[in-house]
């Protein structure tokens, strides 16, 4: 290998190593930025009546989204909580890919007109995305769910933790007022590598109008 070619190879190698180091150091920040970008694409497409969203392969490397995210018959609306800077697409039914693409309903029936709408979201995907900020919410905070036909407004009335086996938070009570529950993993135990409880935000419906 001649000296010029060797120097070129070394320069390329140094640049590649520096780029790799930057990616590793700022991985969470890059993931947060690209996840928010994917969210914006999904939410904008939903508002514009599009059936799917394309995520480039290089972006997918950081966000884990599908290459094509289908919105028709799967995305129910948008969850918006200004007080804790949450704006997430809501998908129907809890699946791992739905929890990667946004947040998801977990009650039966799984639509947004249920008496007790229960929405799950991850809290481990990076700073400020999905439900990472949910534990900062306060009683009295307003929550909006924006769908194609309705704007639903809720007010936070209770904050509490449950164990992973307390599935009664999903129960429906037909003759009771409509409520919303949001939940995410809480109290991580580094010794077991498990989240020991679920943080629950309960809110009462205070307004419903045509979108």
Query: pLDDT tens digits for 109-160?
Result: 999 999 999 999 998 655 678 999 999 999 999 999 999 999 999 999 999 9
Strand-pairing partners, residue 184, are 199
Both tokens of 61, joined, read 């490397």
Sorting pLDDT into bands at 50, 70 and 90, what band is 23?
very low
User: What's the CA gap between 96 and 205, in Å, rounded?
Assistant: 28
Length of the chain: 211
Q: Is the pLDDT of residue 15 over 50?
A: yes
Q: For residues 92-96, give the mean pLDDT.
A: 94
Contacts of 3 (CB under 8 A, 6+ apart): none
Name the strand (E) or helix (H) holding 26: none
Pairing relation of β-strands 86-91 and 179-189? unpaired
Coil/strand/helix, residue 14: helix
Over residues 68-92, the pLDDT tens digits come to 898 988 999 999 999 999 999 999 9
| Burial of 162 (C-beta count, 10 Å sphere; 0-12/13-18/19+) | middle
User: Is-contact 23 61, C-beta < 8 A?
Assistant: no
Q: For residues 183-187, give the mean pLDDT.
A: 93
Taking each helix axis from N to C end, the angle separating 27-47 and 3-25, rounded to the nearest 10 degrees, works out to 70
Give this prediction's pTM.
0.86
Radius of gyration of the chain (CA): 21
Contacts of 123 (CB under 8 A, 6+ apart): 130, 131, 132, 134, 135, 184, 185, 186, 199
**137 to each of 36, 53, 201, how far by Cα in Å?**
20, 30, 8
User: Is-contact 84 136, C-beta < 8 A?
Assistant: yes
Both tokens of 105, joined, read 């309903």
């Amino acid at each position: 290998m001649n000296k010029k070619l060797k120097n070129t190879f070394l320069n390329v190698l140094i640049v590649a190593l520096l780029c790799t180091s930057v990616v590793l150091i700022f991985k969470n920040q890059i993931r947060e930025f690209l996840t928010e970008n994917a969210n914006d694409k999904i939410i904008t497409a939903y508002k514009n009546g599009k059936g799917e969203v394309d995520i480039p392969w290089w972006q997918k490397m950081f966000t884990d989204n599908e290459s094509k995210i289908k919105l028709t018959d799967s995305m129910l609306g948008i969850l918006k909580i200004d007080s804790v800077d949450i704006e997430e697409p809501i998908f129907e039914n809890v699946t791992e890919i739905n929890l990667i693409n946004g947040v998801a309903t977990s009650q039966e029936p799984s639509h947004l007109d249920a008496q007790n709408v229960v929405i799950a979201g991850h809290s481990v995907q990076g700073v400020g995305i999905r439900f990472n900020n949910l534990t900062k919410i306060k009683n009295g905070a307003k929550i909006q769910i924006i769908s194609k036909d309705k704007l639903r407004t809720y007010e936070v009335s209770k904050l509490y933790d449950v164990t992973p086996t307390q599935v009664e938070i999903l129960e429906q009570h037909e003759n009771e007022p409509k409520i919303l529950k949001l939940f995410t993993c809480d109290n991580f135990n580094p010794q077991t590598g498990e989240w020991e409880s679920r943080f629950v935000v309960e809110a009462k419906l205070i307004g419903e109008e045509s979108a």
